[in-house]
A and B are shown apart, each in its own frame.
Chain A
Amino acid sequence: DAMVIQNPRYQVTQFGKPVTLSCSQTLNHNVMYWYQQKSSQAPKLLFHYYDKDFNNEADTPDNFQSRRPNTSFCFLDIRSPGLGDAAMYLCATSRDPGLARPQYFGPGTRLLVL
């Protein structure tokens, strides 16, 4: 089945130690998104790639970066994680960024910062 895969499902890192979260998709979609969801809150968009075009949300901290080496993979890099970055990180994809195109989410990676 075509799907969005996130690895690992749980990630533990230390305060200030860089961490990378991975997302892959078999849907061959052009757009990949990263959302952050803190405990008891709704998901919040960090940024997205439309093909190789990177689009950052205005309020996304500089501590968060992303890479998309090819259509199938996208990475979320947190350069210096703080305790406030502990959250569920969700990857989503869509065929294109149009209003009528649903986004399909992966299972998420839960990040714990010690």
Chain B
Amino acid sequence: DAKTTQPPSMDCAEGRAANLPCNHSTISGNEYVYWYRQIHSQGPQYIIHGLKNNETNEMASLIITEDRKSSTLILPHATLRDTAVYYCIVRVSSRRDGTASKLTFGTGTRLQVTL
């Protein structure tokens, strides 16, 4: 499985953009980059995912480098509610037809949003 490397923790001031980096230098051509977050004692929450192109939704933006070896999750205006552990996951398939893929969580980045 492609491994990801994330900083263990980051701080961000409320109202500012939070930029969370992730390195995935061993990613293969058909593997997606997923971002989830987990607020304390809750289930992980899906944020966004992408293959090659940058993606944006109502929660965040995902910027993937051209060589796909790294990505950045951007929360444009962080609030206190965004304090959570953010997981960057490279999703791989255990079958040739692309089925039976699973999420392999790493250690994530603990984002603390402060006043």
Cβ-neighbour of A105 out of B32, B43, B49, B107 (below 8 A): B43
Can you list, as one digit per residue, whether each of B58-97 has a CB less than 8 Å from chain A (1) or not (0)? 0000000000000000000000000000010001110000
Within 8 A of B (CB), among A68-114: 88, 90, 92, 96-100, 102-108, 110
Q: When chains A and B are docked, how far (Å) is the Cα of A44 from the Cα of B87? A: 13
**Of A104, A105, A106, most B-chain CB atoms within 10 Å:** A105
Complex contacts, B104 vs chain A, CB 8 Å: 45
Complex contacts, B30 vs chain A, CB 8 Å: 99
User: Cβ of B42 and Cβ of A99 under 8 Å apart?
Assistant: no
Cβ-neighbour of B100 out of A50, A92, A110 (below 8 A): A50
Q: What is the size category of the interface that chain B forms with chain A?
A: 20 to 34
> Residues of A at under 8 Å CB distance from B?
4, 6, 33, 42-45, 48, 50, 55, 57, 88, 90, 92, 96-100, 102-108, 110
B103 at the interface (CB under 8 A from A): yes
Complex contacts, B101 vs chain A, CB 8 Å: 97-99
User: Cβ of A43 and Cβ of B105 under 8 Å apart?
Assistant: yes
Can you list, as one digit per residue, whether each of B28-70 has a CB less than 8 Å from chain A (1) or not (0)? 0011101000000111111001010000000000000000000
Q: When chains A and B are docked, how far (Å) is the Cα of A33 from the Cα of B91? A: 15
Complex contacts, B92 vs chain A, CB 8 Å: 99
Q: In the complex, how many angstroms separate the beta carbon of B21 from the nearest chain A beta carbon?
A: 18
Q: When chains A and B are docked, how far (Å) is the Cα of A105 from the Cα of B104? A: 14
